[in-house]
Structure 1
């Protein structure tokens, strides 16, 4: 390297992407050497160096800038065996690797404390799982896998480990929401939210529900079913993304949102009534019960499969066509709601590239400035003066895109192309830029 390049690198420090701690998923950025470690792992397996291959592969899963007190993944290796432990929400997956096999398990509960309905459920779930199985060992019900390392590759490790981690977390969440949480094993790693956080979350949820109900006064008629749907769905998506509830509350929100989109014979009015009824339940929820629905935990795997950008673009196109329809029909109220709904639904329903997740999170921040200001973050928009923090928005867009320019040469900071005249124009220009992002690898 020439002295000019050395001086340039000394002065210019590449931007680091901000870690986003909202929404469901890993809550941390992927390892910046993930691709290289994955490839080195494959090379080690080809050479027959099984333990090194596993060490490199597991290292590729370790997140960058992890903020919780303990790491989400630990690895210990000696000459003949490698041990690892990874966290996935409610679940802890513990495993050991030798030159011939990988064995891993996540303890769920004690056999003697298992409800009959859960025994039946686990038997049925075994037929749905590809790599792992529910079984009993020394009185402990666990989810486990065993792999033969004769023809092992990184891909053959990733999918089984992801399956056991996601499903162990899911089942323990299910038991906590529908049965007795006290029967669960290995829950000491969960971090309770502080009383101040619970109080703040509760107040925010109540405020959002009241604002939504107030905005719909005079609109609750058959001619406005679409507007009501967008309002209720956007509210539930916002509660799920920003407050991140767990257990029964998370399960109910998921069921209400997915139930709305089910292709059944239910009328939209009836679906809206279901959503309204659940929002009434949230409005009247006891604060003590509410507080039990929240905790912090580490996650190794995202629950989402990576979506193609074409899918994202298609959803934005479809949503913007609805905006045009409502504009043509002079239904201005719902337009802002749809713009808010788009980013929240994309964050809820799709596996997003980290840069795209950061950009959509920015849009959520713009529309919920009061919430983020209460979290001691600088607001991106002032709803009273209706002024955008343009330089900060540009900075955030650069932070989201710049770390990936080497891999995706077509990505650009599009801040200068945004229309800051008002929220609606901002969103329209923002989504058009998002839709046309170029994730072609060079």
Structure 2
């Protein structure tokens, strides 16, 4: 123990107190014991053909109490209605003893041009569980539906993940490429607190100054390592995209 203390030091620098800041992107990879128990109960209920209870436990598994990302309603005892929040998109749908359906709005078409319709048809071939569709108001949807008999928790998880991530990604891509499209809904973006903005802005300026100090010092030699500066700037952009961009 004494050797390790000498090697790593006996004391550490005090941490600067400040507002609670979360850097990086959200991930649901780490779940609580209660969530895993809900997953097991969902599997057991599905095997017993108690589909509504299986759905209830499945959404309990998805629910993150820190984010409140799942809203479940049971106004009708024979039907569940749900909402899932993923980035700036919302996946909503219903489930009963016969069917499970989920959909998310991506964009709204002012006119049905061949360009984006062809793109959606091509994208459909890459989807494993969902499909793109148009509703009566020319909203572009990503839709997943299945019979309850075939709606195992494994299938639901991967299908909803595909619907949520594709909806959150495709809205920006399609709106940027096709001018005949417009946002389908206002979205669910929230402004960061001013204290958090100040901390992240300070991190932004500090990292930029540090990178340019490396460039101005001439080390490593740009003539000997011409790609080093490019990698330094790429590393800077990656930090900002991953740590500062809320996603």
Give the TM-score normalised by the residue count of structure 1.
0.46
1:279 aligns with none
* Residue 72 (1) aligns with residue 73 (2): no
Spell out, residue by residue over 1:178-217, the C-alpha distance to the aligned partner (whole angstroms, 9 max, x if none): 567x921233422123566556645543442232122123
CA contact (8 A) 2:100 2:147 kept: yes
Q: In 2, distance between residues paired with 1:24 and 1:111?
A: 30
Q: How does 1:25-424 map to 2 (within 5 A)?
A: 25-26=26-27, 30-66=31-67, 71-77=68-74, 78-112=76-110, 117-139=115-137, 140-175=139-174, 183-193=182-192, 201-202=200-201, 204-217=203-216, 218=218, 219=220, 221-225=222-226, 227-244=228-245
Q: State the SS of the aligned residue for 2:31.
A: coil
Is residue 111–residue 141 contact of structure 1 (8 Å, CA) maintained in 2? yes
The question of whether the paired residues in 1 share the 8 Å contact of 2:107 and 2:175 is answered with: no
Question: Residues 35 and 178 (structure 1 numbering): CA distance in 2 closer, same or farther, change over 3 Å?
Answer: same
Unaligned stretches of 5+ residues in structure 1:
1-18, 247-442
Residue in 2 that maps onto 1:320: none
Count of residue correspondences:
224
Structure with the larger RCO, 1 or 2 (CA within 8 Å, 6+ apart)? 2
Displacement after TM superposition at 1:123 (Å): 1.9
C-alpha contact (below 8 Å) 2:222/2:229 kept by paired residues: no
Distance (whole Å) between structure 1 residues aligned to residue 147 and residue 239 of structure 2: 44
Bigger proportion of residues as strand? 2
For the structure 1 residues 138 and 34, does the alpha-carbon distance in structure 2 shift closer, same or farther, using more than 3 Å as the test? same
| Cα 1:108/1:58, change in 2 over 3 Å | same
- Between 138-147 and 20-29, report the one with greater CA deviation: 20-29
Distance 1:21 1:197, change over 3 A: closer
Q: Is the 8 A contact 2:133 2:140 kept in 1?
A: yes
Aligned partners of 2:206 and 2:22: how far apart in 1?
22
1:296-337 deviation line (CA, Å, top 9, x unaligned): xxxxxxxxxxxxxxxxxxxxxxxxxxxxxxxxxxxxxxxxxx
Q: Note closer, same or farther for the CA distance 1:114–1:172 as it changes in structure 2 (3 Å cut).
A: farther
**Cα displacement (A) at 1:47:** 0.9
Distance 1:59 1:27 in 2: 13
- Note the C-alpha offset of 1:121: 2.2
Q: What RMSD, in angstroms, separates the aligned Cα atoms of the two structures? A: 2.9
Instruction: Give deviations 1:87-119, integer Å, cap 9, x for gaps.
Output: 101210001111111111101222325665433
Taking the aligned partners of 2:28 and 2:152, their CA distance within structure 1 comes to: 27
Q: CA deviation at 1:169?
A: 0.5
Name whichever of 194-203 and 225-234 sits farther off: 194-203
Q: Is the 8 A contact 2:93 2:101 kept in 1?
A: yes
SS at match of 2:224: helix
Shift of the 20–206 alpha-carbon distance from structure 1 to 2, 3 Å rule, reads closer
Separation in 1 of the partners of 2:69 and 2:65?
A: 11
- The answer to whether the 8 Å contact 2:110/2:182 transfers is no
Q: TM-score, normalised by structure 2?
A: 0.78
Distance 1:204 1:39 in 2: 43
Q: Which runs of 5+ in 2 are unaligned?
A: 1-19
Query: Which structure has greater helix proportion?
Result: 1
What's the CA shift for 1:48? 1.1
